Amino acid sequence: MNKEILLQLKGMNAGYGGLRILHDVNIQVDEGEVVAIMGPNGAGKSTVLKTFFGMTEIQSGSVKWRDKKIDPVPHEVVRMGVSYVPQGRRVFRYLTVEENLEIGAYVVKDKKEVRRRIEEVMDIFPDLKAKRKEKSVNLSGGQQQMLAIARGLMTDPHILLLDEPTLGLSPKLVKTVFAKIKEINERRNMAVVIVEHNLKSLLGIVDRAYVLDHGKVVIEDTAESLASSDALERVFLGTYNKRK
Amino acid sequence: MDYIMHLSVLVGVYAILGLSLNLVVGYSGLLSLAHAAFYGVGAYGSAILMKDFGFSFLSAVVLSVLITMAVGVLIGLVLSKFDGDYYALASLGFSVIAFGVFLNWRDLTNGAFGIFGIPKPEIFGYKFLAGEPYAFLVLLAVIFTFLICYFVVNSSFGRVLKAIREDEKALQVFGYKTTLYKLAVFVISAGLAGFAGTLYGSYISFIDPGGFDDLVSVNLIVVVILGGLASLNGSLLGAAFFVLLPELLRFVGMPDSITGQMRQMIYGLGLIALMMYRPQGILGKFRL
Ligand SMILES: Nc1ncnc2c1ncn2[C@@H]1O[C@H](COP(=O)(O)OP(=O)(O)O)[C@@H](O)[C@H]1O
Ligand SMILES: [Mg+2]
């Protein structure tokens, strides 16, 4: 196993307006890998993804892309091949499904290529195909989430960052979404970072997992080993550090 | 008949102001109270260019629209540092500043006395006098403005504006430099307001700072919201309503001396009622 490190936070201290949220966070994502970031509400999971994208205040530490330090700004990070699907299915409700996808492909300048990718993601999410001309306000919650993910795929990224993609979805839909993500990961060799609050079923599709608590990485482990221990439960019960 | 033509010209000027402001407020979701500043810069610009520098109407219009757009760039750049309520307050500040400049830069604007004797437009030897000719000119200007706005909001640029209005942060994630889009629409809107100012000055032939104070900005916001946010037809309706309301009051027998104040009050009440029952405005598609 000699995979290249794609994206990395090193000794990251970051937050908002002088406030420190992340404390000495080290997270790395290798090429083609699926990584979970889990932890209680307010632990700083979304802040980690935003930091990759230059949407937080970096106080010290570094963001690295393919082992080179970068100064992340959204429009540059997208062009490097990182795609970010923020929390809360933020689709543009008054634009159609297709228009949403076109917006996602902003950095792709070749119009024909954009058309091709729209067809490609619609093959992955057939529900969207039937609704392509519909305003996305008319989609169900699950379909909006699919659209948000599909829109994130339009740049054909090397790495996809997903913030709580299953929030508010039925267990059955959660399974579908995870299956799709895994399928895309394998088909495109695209790395994925999935943030979820506390969802053991996520461990079934990831290679490694980080658990965050109060802005610190408290666990870094393989999916199998985390799935078979009670460490995750202990973090949520607030008893993890006490036994360590 | 002249009276009707007079009202038509005023409705037309307000329609151009409303349409252009709707690009910023309705389609992009930026509550700008700076519009009177651009209206004034356009009016003063063309008046001064024609009277003091002997420019023809058309070249004065083109140049003062460009000047207004340049001022729009400066103000827009400052405003891009603000969000939400602060944006509205800061933009109102620019209306106040502009009024102060019109009032106090006496060498250029003649201060509180205003500028008299602004020439009527003469285009290819034809002089547009008050009455039907001017109303026709303004009608052309409204159609021109409407087409520009129609094109802007229905282009892919307009689609991005609507997305900014909905969720600017989410848009940045795809690589859009949203600040540039906001600045661009602000400058287009400023230029059109300047255009309205040039038409107004030449029509009325006398301008003074009071015609471009911060209350004008507030009234224009009401025109846009009342008519309907993100609806071009709504802005036409709002402009007609604003200009014709005092006439309507006079028509029902209200003395001239209070129609002005009554308009302000009815306007205020109308706005409150609208915010309660139909916050997107009469023909609007979006609420602030
Ligand atoms: N824009 C912001 N400004 C200030 N504080 C924020 C902002 N966003 C999040 N926070 C704070 O940062 C902490 C971590 O939030 P977040 O990263 O959203 O956690 P999680 O995604 O794990 O639930 C919380 O205490 C939250 O209140
Ligand atoms: Mg979160």
* DSSP codes, chain A: --PPEEEEEEEEEEEETTEEEEEEEEEEEETT-EEEEE-STTSSHHHHHHHHTT-SEEEEEEEEETTEEE---HHHHHHHTEEEE-SS----TTSBHHHHHHHHTTT---HHHHHHHHHHHHHH-HHHHHTTTSBGGGS-HHHHHHHHHHHHHTT--SEEEEESTTTT--HHHHHHHHHHHHHHHHHHT-EEEEEESS-GGGGGT-SEEEEEETTEEEEEEEHHHHHTSSHHHHHHHT-HHHH-
Q: Confirm if B224 and B26 have CB atoms less than 8 A apart.
A: yes
Judged against a pLDDT cut of 50, whether residue A243 lies above it is answered with: no
Give the gap in angstroms from C-alpha A78 to the nearest C-alpha of chain B: 6
List, in sequence order, every residue forming a beta bridge with A28; answer none if it has no partner. Answer: A8
Stretch B225-248: mean pLDDT = 92
Q: Report residue B177's pLDDT band, with 50, 70 and 90 as the boundaries.
A: very high
pLDDT tens column, B200-228: 999 999 999 999 999 999 999 999 999 99
CB pairs under 8 A between A and B: 49
Residue B77 lies in a domain: yes
As for ligand 1, residues whose beta carbon falls within 6 Å of it are A 16, 21, 39, 41-47
Record: contact B173-A92, CB cut-off 8 A: no
A195-216 burial, b for 16+ CB within 10 Å, e for fewer? Answer: bbeebeebbebbbbbbbbbebe
pLDDT-derived band at B82 (thresholds 50, 70, 90) equals very high
Residue, of A242 and A90, whose pLDDT is higher = A90
Percent of chain A with pLDDT over 70: 98
The answer as to whether B270 is a domain residue is no
Whether B128 maps to a domain, the answer reads: yes
**Helix-, strand-, coil-residue percentages of chain B, each rounded to 5:** 75, 0, 20
Interval between CA B14 and ligand 2 midpoint (Å): 46
Q: Given CB atoms, is B287 within the 8 Å cutoff of chain A? A: no
CATH 3.40.50.300 fits A5-237, yes or no: yes
Coil, strand or helix at B229: coil
Q: What per-residue confidence (pLDDT) applies to A242?
A: 52
Which domain range does residue B101 map to?
A: 2-212
Interface membership of B168 toward A (CB under 8 Å): no
Contacts with A99 from chain B: Cβ below 8 Å: 159
Instruction: Report how many domains make up chain B.
Output: 1
pLDDT-derived band at A241, boundaries 50, 70, 90: low
Chain B positions touching A104 (Cβ under 8 A) are 174
* Candidate from A86, A99, A105 with C-beta closest to B173: A86
Q: Considering the domain boundaries, does residue B269 fall inside one?
A: no
Looking from the CA of residue A44, the nearest atom of ligand 1 is: 17
Mean pLDDT of B248-252: 82
Phi and psi (nearest 5°) for A10?
A: -125, 120
A74 with B166: Cβ contact below 8 A: no
Percent of chain B with pLDDT over 70: 100
pLDDT at A1 > cutoff 70: no
Task: Label residue B251 by pLDDT band (50, 70, 90).
Answer: confident
B 41-70 residues inside an 8 A Cβ radius of A: none
The answer on pLDDT for A244 being more than 60 is: no
Q: Which residue did the predictor score with more confidence, B40 or B276? A: B40
Residues B255-276, mean pLDDT to the nearest whole number? 82
| Cα angle for residues A178, A179, A181 (degrees, 5° grid) | 65
In a domain, residue B196? The reply is: yes
Residue B192 domain flag: yes
Q: Given this model, what pLDDT does residue A170 score?
A: 86
User: Would you say residue B52 has pLDDT above 50?
Assistant: yes
Angle (CA) B168-A92-B223 rounded to 5° is: 70
pLDDT per residue as tens digits for the range B104-152: 999 999 999 999 999 999 999 999 999 999 999 999 999 999 999 999 9
- Residue A2: pLDDT above 70? no
| pLDDT attached to residue B234 | 95
For B175, the closest chain A residue by CA position comes to A75
- Residues 6+ positions from A89 with CB-CB distance below 8 Å: A141, A144, A145, A147, A148, A167
Average pLDDT over residues B157-164: 94
What pLDDT is stored for residue B283 in this prediction? Answer: 87
Ligand 1 atom nearest to A163, measured from its CA: 21
Question: Domain map of chain A by residue range?
Answer: 5-237
Query: In the structure encoding, which two tokens stand for residue A149, read together?
Result: 């993910």
Atom 1 of ligand 1, nearest CA residue = A16
Instruction: Quickly tell me which residue has 């795609």 as its tokens.
Output: A83
Residue of B154, B173, B285 to mutate when probing chain A, most A C-beta within 10 A: B173
The length of chain B, given as a count of residues: 288
